[in-house]
Chain A
Amino acid sequence: MHPRKSLTLALAGLMLATASALAQPTEIRIGVALEPPALDPTAGAAEAIDVVVYQNIFEGLVRIDQTGAVQPGLAESWTISQDGLTYTFTLHEGVTFHDGTSFDAEDVKFTFDRLLAEGSVNAQKALYEPISDVTVVDPTTVEFTLSRPDGLFLFNLGRGDAVIVAPESADNNGAEPIGTGPFAFVQWDRGSRVVLEQFGPYWGDKPALTKATYLFIGDTATMTNALLAGDVDGTNNFAPEALAVFEGNPQFKVLVGSTEGETILSTNNAKAPFDNLLVRQAMAHALDRQEVIDGATYGYGVPIGTHFAPHHPYYLDLTSTYPHDVEKAKALLAEAGYPDGFSATLKLPPVAYARLSGQIIASQFAEAGIELELINMEWAQWLEDVFANKDFDLTIISHVEPFDIGIYANPDYYFGYDNAEVQSLNDQLNATTDEAERLALAQQIQTIITQDAVNGYLFELAQTGVWNGKLDGMWQNAPVEGVVLRDIHWVE
């Protein structure tokens, strides 16, 4: 062959190769604000864990899709007995864990025995307590027996807390997670990033991405610059105050969606003066919800009047139960025996929505005569003081669990609300599978907790994602915690 001709051909080939590589990038770098403390979703409550691993590294028997519906996961099908107490799952065959060990019904049994064991550190253990027995029928069939019907059982199986782990690797999942998902863990540079790569022998449909890197960028200004400079391809949740930088910029996609995070002014109902209904009602009247939403979420939060997600079919709009009325608040305080108001502390975790809401609410309460002292805390300290030891007056926190109204039926929960009627209604709700009846019960509970002004109901957190304009397949809403890579792909 003529040397020049071969050179031309080689060049053409090279150009073709480059062109196709440019046309189909298959890697993604995702910026996330919080680094997970460990990578085992069955042994920690941190949302940051699910952001990296849920449906990427680990899978459950079923999975939640982006509408919040339950889809088959490792179980290809299931049947439910008439009484709602027995669930029989048929498992996929030929599924392997990333370390090469095979998946079968024994792994399912192991997972749930571990989750429900005495010393289990699963953050949502209570959700799975209705499970009385898990039986291996054959390697591809597993049977769950419940002690009572549970309307949310399938959804709960699809959560990050119930992903299937293998006995060979379960203890090590915190540092080196081994699951069955489409992406396998490669490395974790602490303080910097986690790298995942597509798992070749994955049993299901292959994702479009071959590699995903999660970069931990806690600072909003740094994240803004990283996005603008193209150092990251997107983030699932960007600080709303700076969202205006990307809105209207055709190079970026801004996805504003819903989450399951009810943000509340959590009130220690077991402690004076907050054990007094009049005081709680006065606080509810002193609160200007819209101002908090505008100030703390830049208008992206959705107002809530009760502890329920506004996009849920069971939601009841109770936002006008206690309208903003300073005079009414003062009158109620006087009636409660605090004509000159009182002082209290407001403990704030290190999240922007809480810190900002805290300053705004302190200013609003001051008008009604309630002096709030703001105490800024780190997560570990907040979890210990407020959540574990209940040593607080007020706090601001987003409850990100889906369908978590059951916390109002638990008198030992940190905000100490003890109402026998709510407890009995919640038991009925848990035991009912009839939709109409469930709706009525859920709305009854919502009405009671709102009228009792248990907590100050502020807003539903929005998910405000910012992504490269050429990326598609990201979830707009967050019905469960996680950044699911499955459908994300580059388009030209």
Chain B
Amino acid sequence: MNWQALRHNPSLLIGLVATLAFALLGVVSIWWTPYPIEQVAIAQRFQGPSPAHWLGTDHLGRDMLSLIMSGTLTSFVVAALGVLIGVAVGVPMGLAAGAWGGAVEWLVLRISDLTFAFPAVIVAILITALAGPGETNAIIAIGVFNVPVFARVARGGALAVATQDYVAAARLAGHGNVSIAWRHLLPNIMSLLIVQGTIQLSLGILAEAGLSYIGLGTQPPATSLGLMLRDAQSLFLIHPWLSVVPGLTIVFIVIALNLAGDGLRDAMDPRLRHQGLAHGAG
């Protein structure tokens, strides 16, 4: 991928820029928000947008922009760690299935099937219901439903690469399965994983919002976009603004991530590329 690819693909550019902008907004909230988010000021609640509070104030008089910034960070961190768990567990599983085949492959696929049989959010609810609500459990829950996704993607990619001549050559040269998976399969499915990771990140953000919305994710006084929606839902008929702001933020983040994911897939798809596999036989 290069700048030319970006120029030919404006949606990728928009997606990446918007994603980075939201991520930056979240990261900045670690050091600075317009107002501290723990600071309650009942006298100032339910204000509309104003120069002092760009996005207004919530039911406890907290600055909505500060909450959105902090909530975006929570959503990104929870989703990213969830995806990371999925990658860390799922990719080795998929590679093992691809490299060994046979019984290992069968086992990996059946475990994936089993996890896929339950809708992702149901799995997440099950975990948080068993282990109690909280950010950590939300991360684990999102991680668990990401595992089979990455296992499948890694296996699929690995199977395609495993038929290449240079893999056969490596095998003849005496490389074992582990070495082949690490040196040949993994580098060649990296682009697939990045694309899938971007898409899973957007699903993770939705899952975090969903879990917090039903009270199983982030707990106050910490905040997340889903939690803001939860706090606002009983007030929707009176103060719809409180739901609109976090709702739209979630929508924009997810659109940005999906644009980025689709753009990356187009840019990285081996069939669309001219220069062949970047990490050839080494």
Give A residues with C-beta under 8 Å from B. Answer: 219-221, 224, 239, 241-242, 244-245, 291, 294-295, 355-356, 359-360, 362-364, 366, 374, 376
Contacts and interface: CB of A to CB of B under 8 A. Distances in A.
Contacts of A242: 234-235, 237-238
Contacts of A241: 59, 234-235
A214 B70 CA distance: 41
8 smallest CB-CB distances across A and B, nearest first, come from A220-B234, A363-B40, A295-B42, A221-B233, A291-B42, A294-B42, A360-B40, A245-B237
A-side binding surface: helix, strand, loop or mixed? helix
B-side binding surface: helix, strand, loop or mixed? loop
B118 interface: no
A366 B37 CA distance: 13
Interface in B201-253: 219-221, 233-238
**Most chain-A Cβ atoms within 10 A of its Cβ — which of B40, B59, B236?**
B40
B194 interface: no
Given A374-B220, A376-B220, A244 B38 contact: no
Contacts, number: 54
A359 B237 contact: no
Interface string B45-80: 100000000000001110000000000000000000
A362 B235 contact: no
12 contacts: A221-B234, A242-B234, A242-B238, A291-B42, A294-B43, A295-B45, A356-B60, A359-B221, A362-B38, A363-B40, A374-B221, A376-B220
B275 interface: no
B39 interface: yes
Contacts of B43: 291, 294
Given A295-B40, A295-B60, A356-B60, A362 B221 contact: yes
B152 to A, nearest CB: 36
B60 A359 contact: yes
Contacts of B220: 355, 359, 374, 376
Interface in B28-43: 38-40, 42-43
A221 B232 CA distance: 10
Contacts of A374: 219-221
A459 B39 CA distance: 22
A135 B39 CA distance: 61
B234 A224 contact: yes
Contact of A239 (B40, B61, B234): B234
Contacts of A355: 220
Contacts of B221: 359, 362, 374
Contacts of B39: 363, 366
A260 B238 CA distance: 29
A152 B206 CA distance: 56
B40 A244 contact: no
B42 A360 contact: yes
A335 B112 CA distance: 63
A221 B59 contact: no
A223 to B, nearest CB: 9
